[in-house]
Amino acid sequence: MVSAPRISGVLETCLYVDDLKRARAFYDRVFALPVMFGDERLVVYDAGPASALLLFKRGSTLHTVHLPGGAIPPHDGHGPLHFALAIPTEALDAWRAHLASENVPIESEVTWPRGGVSVYFRDPDGHLAELGTPGLWKNYQAEAGT
């Protein structure tokens, strides 16, 4: 048996939305992430080093997409999904204030045993967004001296 090769990280997180224009307006307003690509079926946000948040119009990915370099197989998703974005601990209060100023209600907050804090809220399609500080997972800890 051969060991699995090393994984560098999660490259993409995908959400499927009913109204791409509405979803993009929400994500632009609430997260203000740089857009790397956008068309009538997809918006791709820069979510940090080697990480992208993709919003697909639900149903727009049910057929193979042929590109000059190859083909993307069909995929889609239904129901409320979950994703989390990493934030520094010192940004937690600013995020709470920002969400309040954007009329985005916080659904829940959790303080984790390792000291991290998660703030949960919903997007217009019912997806559960999470903002998490270091200390949430064993592999997501504050660096020494920070």
**How does pLDDT run across 42-69, given as a tens digit for each residue?**
999 999 999 999 999 999 999 999 999 9
Confidence of residue 142 (pLDDT cuts 50, 70, 90): confident
Structure tokens at 20: 């791409």
pTM of the entire structure? 0.91
**How does pLDDT run across 84-132, given as a tens digit for each residue?**
999 999 999 999 999 999 999 999 999 999 999 999 999 999 999 999 9
> What pLDDT shows up at residue 143?
62
- How many helices and strands, by DSSP H and E, does the chain display? 2, 10
Determine contact, residues 65/40, Cβ cutoff 8 Å.
no
Domains and their CATH numbers in the chain: 8-59 (3.30.720.120), 80-146 (3.10.180.10)
